[in-house]
Amino acid sequence: MAPPSPKEFIEAALVAATTPYALSYTDSKQKWVILRHLLSLLQEFPGFKPSTGRFMHNDGTEVNLLRATGCVHVANSTTPTIPLVIWLHENYPQKAPLVFVSLHPMTPIHRHHPFVDNTTGATSPPYILTWTYPPCNLSELLRNLVQLFSIDHPFSYTLTTPACLTHPWLVSTKEALDRLVGMLHYDMVALRASTSDEIEKLSLLQEELKRRDRFITSMVAELGEERMRLEERVKNWAEETDRVENWLRVNDGRSIMDLNARDVEIEDAFEMDETSRARLESSAADLAIEEVMYKLDKALEHEAVSFDSYIKQVRSLAREQFFHRCNYEMASTSSPTSV
């Protein structure tokens, strides 16, 4: 037995209203429009075949609908064919049909396509978004999709520009609108990407500025503490200066300028008893002898003096140094007098 023709299949599906798989089209006029539109589509695109199936809407509602399944060829022979499924809404033709690009792992839909969702394959060109019956119909919808996909293939990033689109006078209003929507979509994608990059850079800059702000704040706090310490030291130095000037004024009656102006020994600026003077003289003599002995060592190294002369001088200086150190110790054990 030969399979039924597309017309017979559609008529039988629309008439079968009592079976569990009855379609969700109830109005007789609606069924007549569906039959006419589907037959027109299949006549213009014979590669499509009618069938029925269960469709679930986004709200979870399930309905039995007619669908047309097939592939369209666009651009040139090197581009892959595009498998489509066109579901006729239960309120068709008042509601636009539901069009999907069949998903396949070997031919993924690129993520930024302006009219096809890369996760579900749902297709929403301006023709569907602005659907109005009449004059919209299935055949014109599919011609519009072929035109769109020839410009922007869902399986490729390559954009082509047919000759008929090179001059605005040679395109229809719908084609110009489709092309404009596609261009605006890609402009928005590029703008979104650049904006995202700029936001990321500004976020990094903000973090860097916050880090610098914390560093500068800590530095300012440390400088403030250092300033307070320096002010305290200046205050202490000023007090010490006043105390020394008062001491000089009371004990000597001469200022530091007076001392510098006159040829006065530094020891004369201090009160010193005999014991302190003896200790000072002994210490100075001890250091002087130590320096002479060092020079003698150097002279012996360079053979500037004989060894006998060196020994004689060292013995003499050591004896004298011993007496100076004894005098220093004796002065130190005596009653100390403040300088």
pLDDT score at 87: 94
Band (254; pLDDT cuts 50, 70, 90): low
Sheet strands side by side (includes 98-101)? 49-56, 62-72, 82-87, 98-101, 122-123
The whole-chain average pLDDT of the chain stands at 80
Q: What is the mean pLDDT of residues 269-279?
A: 72
Local structure of 46: helix, strand or coil: coil
Burial tier of 93 (Cβ tally within 10 Å: 0-12, 13-18, 19+): buried
Residue 21 has pLDDT above 90, yes or no: no
List the structure tokens of 34: 């569906």
Contact 50, 10 (CB under 8 A): yes
d(CA 320, CA 327): 11
Angle (CA) 258 259 263, round 5°: 115
Residue 99 has pLDDT above 90, yes or no: yes
pLDDT score at 11: 84
Residue 161 has pLDDT above 50, yes or no: no
Residue 162 has pLDDT above 50, yes or no: no
Sketch the domain layout of the chain as residue ranges: 6-155, 171-245, 272-334
pLDDT score at 185: 61
H-run or E-run covering 114:
none
Could you tell me the pTM of the whole model? Answer: 0.52
pLDDT score at 152: 80
Band (124; pLDDT cuts 50, 70, 90): confident
Where is average pLDDT lowest: 26-30, 35-39, 152-156, 289-293?
Answer: 152-156
**Do the bridges between strand 49-56 and strand 62-72 make them parallel or antiparallel, or are there none, so unpaired?**
antiparallel
Q: What is the mean pLDDT of residues 58-85?
A: 85
Q: What is the mean pLDDT of residues 48-60?
A: 90
Burial tier of 13 (Cβ tally within 10 Å: 0-12, 13-18, 19+): buried
Band (137; pLDDT cuts 50, 70, 90): very high
pLDDT score at 55: 92
Band (167; pLDDT cuts 50, 70, 90): very low
CATH code reported for the domain at 6-155 = 3.10.110.10
Name the more confident of 337 and 292.
Answer: 292
pLDDT score at 166: 46
pLDDT score at 165: 42
